[in-house]
Amino acid sequence: QSALTQPPSASGSPGQSVTISCTGTSSDVGGYNYVSWYQQHPGKAPKLMIYEVTKRPSGVPDRFSGSKSGNTASLTVSGLQAEDEADYYCSSYAGSGSLLFGGGTRLTVL
């Protein structure tokens, strides 16, 4: 099992939209609709932002959305705000009870 592939960094100005990709294989991202995204601010625990590819937990702004095409999942943050600056991690079910994480993307709000 290899980690899912994310770009190490992404950036955008306030009000803009940014999309972060998460690439896996047909054995994980492409094989199941169990992709989730986590936001992590420095020194804090990760927070669930998106689950099952497109679903948002209660309390997560609708500026955050998820999608998937083939072996690549994406997180889009619309109307960027200063507080969105954080590290973002994708995760996918990979069969046989196992989970994989991506390497993480640092989102900078310019």
Interface residues toward other proteins, by CB under 8 A: 1, 3, 32, 34, 36, 38, 45-48, 51-52, 57, 89, 91-93, 96-104
The phi and psi torsions of 3 (rounded to 5 degrees) equal -60, 150
Nearest distance from residue 90's CB to other proteins, in Å? 10
Nearest distance from residue 79's CB to other proteins, in Å? 24
The CA distance from 64 to 84, in Å, is 10
Pairing of strands 86-93, 35-40: antiparallel
| Nearer Cβ to other proteins (28/84) | 28
Candidates 62, 58, 101, 89; CA nearest to 78 is 62
Nearest distance from residue 16's CB to other proteins, in Å? 25
